[in-house]
Amino acid sequence: MLKIFTTQLQGHFSRIMEQEEMNMEDGARILAQSVISDGAILIHGFGEMAAITTEALVGAEPLKSAKPLFDHGKMNVIEDVDSVLLITRFSTDEEAIKVAEELRSKGIQTVAISAVVKSEGDRTLEESVDILIDSKLTKPLIPDDVGARFGFPSVMTALYAYFGLKFTIKEMVEEFE
């Protein structure tokens, strides 16, 4: 099982690396502008994606200029030089879309990490943010004996996309300095 899981996960990582490179660069450019301008990158992970927020804020190598978007359930003040990073499991997450639309109405540049889910007629996060990095994971990875699937590492794929974004931000900020 673990071998199948590892192979499938490596495939997802490869697809993110190959297919999302331009979105990572564009997203990093938006977020790096905040760092370079002495602003902040406000970050929020919905549901299990709070793990990405934790990594960015208090991990071994925190994201430069990162602050939480919410404090005790209330959105923090966002300055003109700030930008936002939202992370959620699926691009159809209504709560994430609502926050992204509020940020857009205030003119705040927003980058998101989420698995893109095609949905007829429904609003999607793609429409409400400046850049969306597709974490690619829309279904569990491992098939069982009766055709069902299990093993849904959404945090792992989003964390991979986050690190790609973080490394690109680091390169851009270092080039500027």
95-127 pLDDT, tens per residue?
999 999 999 999 999 999 999 998 777 789 999
pLDDT of residue 171: 95
CATH class for the domain made up of 2-176: alpha beta
pLDDT of residue 98: 97
* E strand map for 61-148: 66-68, 70-71, 74-75, 83-90, 109-115, 131-134, 142-143
Per-residue pLDDT tens over the stretch 44-66: 999 999 999 999 999 999 999 99
Per-residue pLDDT tens over the stretch 118-169: 877 778 999 999 999 999 999 999 888 888 889 999 999 999 999 999 999 9
146 backbone φψ class: left, alpha, beta (φ>0; ψ -120 to 50): alpha
pLDDT of residue 1: 82
For residue 83, the one-letter residue type is S
Give the global pTM: 0.95
pLDDT of residue 122: 75
| Separation CA 2–CA 124 (nearest Å) | 33
Distance, C-alpha 30 to centroid of its chain: 13
